[in-house]
Amino acid sequence: MFQELIASAVVPLRSGVLRIVDEAIAANVPIAVCSTSNEAAVRTLVETLMGEERYGKFAFFCGDAVPKKKPAPDVYLLAAEKLDVSPSGCVVIEDSGIGLQAAKAAGMACLVTKSTYTGGDDFSSADRVVDELGEPGSGECVTLDNLQALLGAATTA
């Protein structure tokens, strides 16, 4: 059922996601999806909502890629290792307290986008918390430069 909803594009992307992905791709920044969800569902979601070209730029670390799930840092550490990036050079965009805990335990900067499902979670350890990534001219608009600035802030905090 969920796979069918995804394939029919009923599940929309949040504001700013495509823009920030496009900025990362244009700047040759490695991008990955790290999820405890089923890999087939995650891949379908990304390909359907972002298109084949963007989909091809992502690395995927899903499902049972690691034995310990979030809030353990394992999935993020695996992604950093496979992408050949130091954990301190990674910025994670999360929407849950458990994901935030995992990112911080991995030694990574983390921006949280609040969601209706996780709005009550504790995000006090996040490097930045926003309602959404946003679009230019729509109030708050998180850019790739903003995310890269979190790297310096996370190491000096």
pLDDT for 93-104, tens place per residue? 999 999 999 999
pLDDT tier for residue 152 given thresholds of 50, 70 and 90: confident
In contact, 63 and 36? CB cutoff 8 Å: yes
Using the predicted structure, report yes or no on whether residue 139 has a pLDDT greater than 90.
no
pLDDT for 8 equals 58
Which pTM was predicted?
Answer: 0.90
Encode pLDDT of 81-91 as tens digits.
999 999 999 99
Give residue 97's region: left, alpha or beta (phi > 0; psi -120 to 50). Answer: alpha
Tokens of 93: 């965009």
